[in-house]
């Protein structure tokens, strides 16, 4: 699978992957226009939305109403390195959510491919041509 990454101007960096263009920019204080998320923000959003699609699919397969279901992602950042040390995903369930599925919905969120790739990271090879 190939992805084309290019620079349309300013501090913007876009990536064409499959039929979508994923847009990133830097905040105004960093010289950008603030017109899109930063690459790291997009990465972090991919974790929460990936878990979310598994929770959504779990509920849809069982006919469970998703009204009121929300996921909250919290980051524990090391103040010295500024690296994320821990990511917590809270699945907020309404009182109407079936008790018997509470552990299973957590298991479904844990199936997220982004999370799995972080647990067993790929090898990186950066080069010029």
Domains in the chain, number? 2
74 occurs within a structural domain:
yes
The number of helix segments (H) and strand segments (E) in the chain equals 3, 5
Specify whether 51 is located in the same domain as 26.
no
Is-above-0.85 flag for pTM?
A: yes
Chain center to CA of 13: 18
Q: Are residues 99 and 43 in the same domain?
A: yes
Model pLDDT, residue 59:
98
| Cα dist from 49 to 5, 65, 100, whole Å | 22, 18, 24
3 and 21 co-located in one domain: yes
Eight-state DSSP code of residue 56: H
In a domain, 127, yes or no: no
Determine the structural domain holding residue 57 and report its residue range: 38-122
User: Cα(122)–Cα(92) distance, rounded to whole angstroms?
Assistant: 31
At residue 34, the pLDDT reads 97
63 and 113: one domain?
A: yes
pLDDT tens, the chain, 129 aa long: 899 999 999 999 999 999 999 999 999 999 999 999 999 999 999 999 999 999 999 999 999 999 999 999 999 999 999 999 999 999 999 999 999 999 999 999 999 999 999 999 999 999 999
């Amino acid at each position: 699978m190939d992805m084309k990454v290019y620079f349309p101007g300013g501090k913007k960096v876009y990536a064409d992957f499959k039929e979508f263009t994923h847009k990133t920019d830097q905040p105004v204080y960093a010289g950008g226009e603030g017109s899109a998320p930063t690459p790291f923000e997009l990465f972090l959003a991919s974790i929460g939305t990936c878990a979310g699609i598994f929770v959504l699919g779990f509920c849809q397969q069982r006919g469970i109403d998703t009204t009121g279901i929300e996921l909250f992602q919290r980051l524990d950042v090391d103040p010295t390195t500024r690296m994320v040390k821990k990511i917590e995903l809270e699945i907020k369930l309404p009182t109407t959510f079936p008790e018997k599925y509470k552990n299973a919905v957590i298991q479904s969120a844990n199936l997220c491919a982004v999370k799995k790739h972080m647990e067993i990271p790929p090898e990186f090879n950066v080069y010029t041509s």
